[in-house]
Structures are given as C-alpha cells and as structure tokens.
Amino acid sequence: MSVRLLPSGPDAILVECGSQAEVLALHEALASDPPEGLVELVPAARTVLVAVDHRVLPLETAASWVRRAMQHGPAQHGGADVGSGSASSGGVASAPPVVLDASYDGEDLDDTARLLGIGAAELVARHLAAEWRVAFIGFAPGFAYLVSDDWPYRVPRLDAPRTRVPAGSLALADGYTGAYPRESPGGWRLIGRTEAVLWDEGADPPARLVPGARVRFREAGSSPGAGS
C-alpha cells in the first residue's frame, strides 16, 4: 500500500490512499490498535484523517503508528488469522453483517434502472445479492456510504436535489448506496426505504452502521432464515 501523509495542522495528519479498498484496510488496521491521545479517526473515499491531542500523542509518533499499520496490516489479537487485511479479529469487519429490511419502491427506481440500461427487477436483485461494507460516514450523522465489489453500477446524483427526503429512504449515488438516517434534503436517487432505526442519540454507538461494518439488504416481508 502506498500512501501520502498530508499536513493538516498541528493536531492532525490526512493520510491519502490509492483506493477505497486501501482506505478500508488502513482504517481497519488503525482502528484495531488505537494509541492513547488519538482523538479522531475519520475514513473517507480516499483518505483517513488521524486527529490527535499532540500533548499526549505527538504528531511524529502518530505518523510512525500510521506507517507501521501500513506495513503490518491490522493488529492481531489472540492468534487470529494472519495476513488477510479484511479478516482481523474483534473488529466490526469480522462481525456478522448488519441485515437491513428494505422495500424497493423508491420514486427513482425505474428511472435509475433505465439510466443503467437494465430492468428495475435486476437492479433490485443485484442490490439484494451484494455484500456491502460501510466505507465511511458523511453528509449527516449516521449517513453511511456503502460500497461493494459486487456492485458494478455508478449513477449521477439528481440534477436538482430534493428539499425533503424522508428518513429511511434507501438511495444510490455514484458507486455508493446509503439510507437517510433522518429526514433531510438530498440529491441521491431513491430506490426504496428501510424501517430500520439508523440513528439513535441515546444508543452507543448512536449510528447503526459504523465504518468497516458489513451490511446486507433483505426484502421486507421475507421471514428471517427463510432465504430470499
């Protein structure tokens, strides 16, 4: 993995990776071994922000920690599998996928399928079949950007964003899927909705989907364990 460490003030380093997959791997490695004095670890599409309290964790020490994580991958605990960047023990990535029930009745479903030159049924089937991962959270509290190697489609955002998108709306933009945790404006293409509570200020963590987590969608109404 080749990364660049970019300056971001006296209390942070912005680590730039070559791809989203590298971001996921680096974030996982860093999150599995957080040093004292680390304040924020924020993955995004091509970067991970490492913010520190420099009185506890000097920036140079944080930079060494990042370089070490790049070389060795996720920290290993208790003799877990070695070598695979995506299978560290104890992290959210190795936990079973979060399953979200979804109804595929979004306003933009047909238009979006047409844009991609496929049928709506195929779009839904691919969305259900894919195993997704939370690449990062952005735009709003708990709004997870999900990516999948099984998802070949990229769609542009709407030309004119909606002023009001209901909570639970399941949507597509670029190569991502995501669900609106709360009602908000938004420019993603709505393909369905989920009843799952994605944001709860009283819960720990407040976000149902956290960076690195695996996610699957299941058609609402199909019973658990009964297949699709």
Partner 1 sequence: MTALRIVAPGASCLVEDLGRPGLARLGVGRSGAADRGALALANRLVGNAEGAAGLEVLLGGFRAVAEADAWIAVTGARGPVLVDGVEASPAVAVRVPAGAELELRPAEHGLRYLVGVRGGIAVPEVLGSRSRDTLAGLGPDPVAAGDRLPIGPEPEAPVALLDREAAFAPVDGPVVLELVPGPRADWFTDAARALLFDTEWRTSAAADRVGTRLEGPVLDRLVAGELASEATVPGSMQVSTSGQPTILGPDRPVTGGYPVIAIVAPASLDRVAQLRPGQPVRFRHAR
Which residues lie near partner 1 (CB under 8 A)? 6-12, 14, 16, 39-47, 49, 51, 136-143, 182, 201, 205-207, 210-211
CB closer to partner 1, 42 vs 128: 42
CB of 199 to partner 1, least distance (A): 9
CB of 44 to partner 1, least distance (A): 4
Question: What are the beta bridge partners of residue 144?
Answer: 137
CB closer to partner 1, 31 vs 70: 31
Coil, strand or helix at 226: coil
Please measure the distance between the N-terminal and C-terminal CA atoms of the chain and give it in whole angstroms.
38
CB of 26 to partner 1, least distance (A): 13
CB closer to partner 1, 192 vs 211: 211
CB closer to partner 1, 123 vs 211: 211
Nearest to 199 by CA among 189, 210, 191, 188: 210
Q: For 16, list phi and psi in degrees, rounded to 5.
A: -100, 125
What residues contact 60, with CB distance under 8 A and at least 6 apart? Answer: none
For 50, the token pair is: 């490492």
CB of 134 to partner 1, least distance (A): 10
> Is the torsion defined by CA of 32, 38, 44, 46 positive or negative?
negative
DSSP 63-122: HHHHHHHHHH-SPP-TT---S-TT--SSSGGGSPPEEEEEE---TTHHHHHHHHTS-HHH
CB of 30 to partner 1, least distance (A): 11
CB closer to partner 1, 113 vs 181: 181
